[in-house]
Amino acid sequence: MIPKVTKGTRCRGLLEYLWGPGRSDEHVNPRIVAGYDDPAVLAPPQRRDDPDRFDLAELAARLDAPQEALGTRGIREYVLQVSLSVRSDERPISDAEWGRIAQTYVDRMGLSGSDGRAGCRWIAVHHGRSINGNDHIHLVITRATEDGAPVYLRGEWRRSQEVCDEIEKEFGLRQDTPGRAGATRRAAASRWEVEEARQAGRDATDRELLRREVRAALAGAVDEQDWVARMKAVGLLVSARRDRRNPHSAVGYVVALPPYRRSGVRPRWLAGRDLDGDLSLTRVRQRWPGGRRLSPDQWRATPPRDRMELGGTQRIEVWRATAAALDEVAGRLRTVPPDSPQWPAIAWACADTLTATSVLAEPDTFGPVSRAADILARAAAPKRALPGPDDSAIAQQLRRVADAMLFAGAGRHAREASVLLTVVVAAARLIVALAELRTAQQELHAAGATRIAAERMMPLLHQAQRAATAGLVTAGTTAAARDTVRPAGPPAARRATEHGR
* pLDDT tens readout for residues 440-484: 777 777 777 787 887 777 766 666 566 555 554 443 444 433 443
Q: pLDDT exceeding 90 applies to what percent of the chain?
A: 26
CATH class of 2-174: alpha beta
- 431 with 452: CB under 8 angstroms? no
pLDDT (mean) for 149-178: 82
150 or 496, which is more confident? Answer: 150
Provide the 3-class DSSP secondary structure of residue 276: coil
CA distance 229 to 234: 9
pLDDT digits (tens, 9 = 90+) for 72-108: 788 888 999 999 988 877 889 999 999 999 999 999 9
pLDDT digits (tens, 9 = 90+) for 318-373: 888 999 999 999 898 888 888 888 878 888 889 999 999 998 888 878 888 898 89
408 confidence band (pLDDT: 50, 70, 90): confident
CA distance 359 to 405: 10
Q: pLDDT exceeding 70 applies to what percent of the chain?
A: 80
pLDDT at 379 (0 to 100): 77
CA distance 262 to 256: 10
The number of angstroms, rounded, from the C-alpha of 175 to the middle of its chain's C-alpha atoms is 16
308 or 20, which is more confident? Answer: 20
CA distance 329 to 217: 22
For the cut 90, the answer to whether the pLDDT of residue 24 exceeds it is: no
Whose CA is closest to 380, among 335, 338, 425, 350? 350
Domain residue ranges in the chain: 2-174, 191-301
Whose CA is closest to 267, among 257, 277, 275? 257
> Cα dist. 337→85, 157, 334, 344, 348 in Å?
34, 31, 8, 13, 17
pLDDT (mean) for 50-61: 86
Burial profile 159-198: b = 16 or more Cβ within 10 angstroms, e = fewer: bbbebbeebbeebebbbbbbbbbbebebeeeeeebbebbe
Helix H or strand E segment including 179? helix 178-181
pLDDT at 473 (0 to 100): 46
For the cut 60, the answer to whether the pLDDT of residue 500 exceeds it is: no
432 confidence band (pLDDT: 50, 70, 90): confident
- 237 with 256: CB under 8 angstroms? yes
63 or 500, which is more confident? Answer: 63
Angle of the 343-361 helix axis to the 414-440 helix axis, nearest 10:
160
pLDDT at 382 (0 to 100): 66
